[in-house]
Amino acid sequence: MTYTNFTVETDADGIALVTWNMPDRSMNVFTEEVMGELDKIIDQVVADAGIKGAVITSGKETFSGGADLTMLQKMLKLYAKEKAKDADKAAKLLFDNAGRMGALWRKLETSGKPWVSAINGTCMGGAFELSLACHGRVAADSDKVKMALPEVKVGIFPGAGGTQRVPRLADPQSALQMLTSGQTLTPQKAKGMNLIHAVVEPKKLIETAKGMIRNGLKPVQPWDEKGFKLPGGPVYSAAGANLWPPAIAILRRETYGNYPAATAILKCVYEGLLVPFDTGLRIEQRYFTEIMQTREAAAMIRSLFVSLQELNKGARRPEGITDTKFKKIGIIGAGFMGAGIAYVTAKAGIPVVLVDRDQEAADKGKAHSDSLISDQVKKGRAKPEERDKLLSLITPSADYADLAGCDLVVEAVFEDSEVKKATTEKAEAVLKSSSVFASNTSTIPITSLGKNSARPKNFIGIHFFSPVDKMMLVEIIMGKKTGDKALAVAMDFVRAIKKTPIVVNDTRGFYVNRCVLRYMSEAFKMLIEGVPAAMIENAAKAAGMPVGPLALTDETAVDLAQKIMKQTIRDLGEKAVDPRQMALINTMVDSHGRLGRKNTKGFYDYPAKPAKKKLWPGLKDLYPQKAPENVDVEELKLRLLSVIALEAARVMEECIVTDPREADVGSILAFGFAPYTGGALSYIDGIGAKKFVKIAKDLQKKYGAEFKAPKLLIDMAEKGDTFYQRFDPYAKSEEKKAA
* Catalytic annotation, residues: 442, 463, 475, 513
Intra-chain end-to-end CA distance of the chain, in Å: 40
Q: Give the strand pairing for 459-464 and 473-478.
A: antiparallel
Determine the Cα–Cα distance for residues 169 and 691; give it in Å rounded to an integer.
47
Cα angle at 633 between 632 and 639, to 5 degrees?
Answer: 95
Residues whose CB falls within 8 Å of the CB of residue 492, separated by 6 or more in sequence, listed in order: 314, 317, 323, 324, 326
Find residue 543's DSSP bridge partners.
none
- Comparing C-alpha atoms, which of 531, 488, 505, 724 is closest to residue 619? 531
Determine the Cα–Cα distance for residues 375 and 467; give it in Å rounded to an integer.
15
CB 187 within 8 A of CB 141: yes
Q: Give the strand pairing for 329-332 and 408-411.
A: parallel
Determine the Cα–Cα distance for residues 646 and 651; give it in Å rounded to an integer.
9
Q: Give the strand pairing for 198-200 and 136-140.
A: parallel
Residue 101: strand, helix, or coil? helix
CB 120 within 8 A of CB 63: yes
Determine the Cα–Cα distance for residues 642 and 638; give it in Å rounded to an integer.
6
Determine the Cα–Cα distance for residues 596 and 604; give it in Å rounded to an integer.
7
Determine the Cα–Cα distance for residues 46 and 55; give it in Å rounded to an integer.
13
Integer angstrom CA distances of residue 579 from 562, 590, 677? 12, 15, 33
Integer angstrom CA distances of residue 449 from 26, 203, 438, 568? 40, 55, 10, 18
Determine the Cα–Cα distance for residues 610 and 673; give it in Å rounded to an integer.
28
The Cβ of residue 241 has, within 10 Å, a number of other Cβ atoms equal to 11
Helix (H), strand (E) at residue 331:
strand 329-332
Q: Give the strand pairing for 147-148 and 329-332.
A: unpaired
Residue 545: strand, helix, or coil? coil
CB 372 within 8 A of CB 390: no
Residues whose CB falls within 8 Å of the CB of residue 543, separated by 6 or more in sequence, listed in order: 256, 636, 637, 638, 640, 641, 674
CB 274 within 8 A of CB 180: no
CB 474 within 8 A of CB 669: no
User: Is 471 exposed, middle or buried, given 0-12, 13-18 or 19+ CB atoms closer than 10 A?
Assistant: middle
